[in-house]
Amino acid sequence: MHKLIFISFIVLFSGIANANNPRYQQLAASTQTIILHETSDQAASYTEYAAVADNVTWLISMSRRLEKYIPDLLEREAFLRTVYYEATRAGLDPQLVLSVIQVESGFKKYAVSHAGARGYMQVMPFWVGVIGHQDHNLFHLRVNLRYGCTILRHYLDKEKGDYFRALGRYNGSLGAASYPQLVFNKWQTTWRYISS
- For 89-124, write each residue's pLDDT tens digit: 999 999 999 999 999 999 999 999 999 999 999 999
pLDDT at position 12 is: 26
Residue 188: Cβ within 10 Å count: 11
Which of 172, 179, 152, 168 is CA-nearest to residue 24? 172
Distance of CA 145 to the CA centre of its chain: 4
> Rounded to 10 degrees, what is the CA torsion of 59, 63, 64, 69?
160
Cβ pair 105, 121 in contact under 8 A: yes
Domains of the chain as residue ranges with CATH: 4-188 (1.10.530)
Return d(Cα 57, Cα 160) in angstroms, integer: 31
Q: What is the pLDDT confidence band of residue 35, given thresholds at 50, 70 and 90?
A: low
pTM: 0.81
Whose CA is closest to 120, among 85, 82, 90, 153? 82
Q: Given pLDDT bands bounded at 50, 70 and 90, which one contains residue 135?
A: confident
pLDDT, tens only, 42-92: 888 888 888 888 888 999 999 999 999 999 999 999 999 999 999 999 999
Phi, psi of 59, rounded to the nearest 5 degrees: -60, -45
Maximal CA-CA distance, the chain: 49
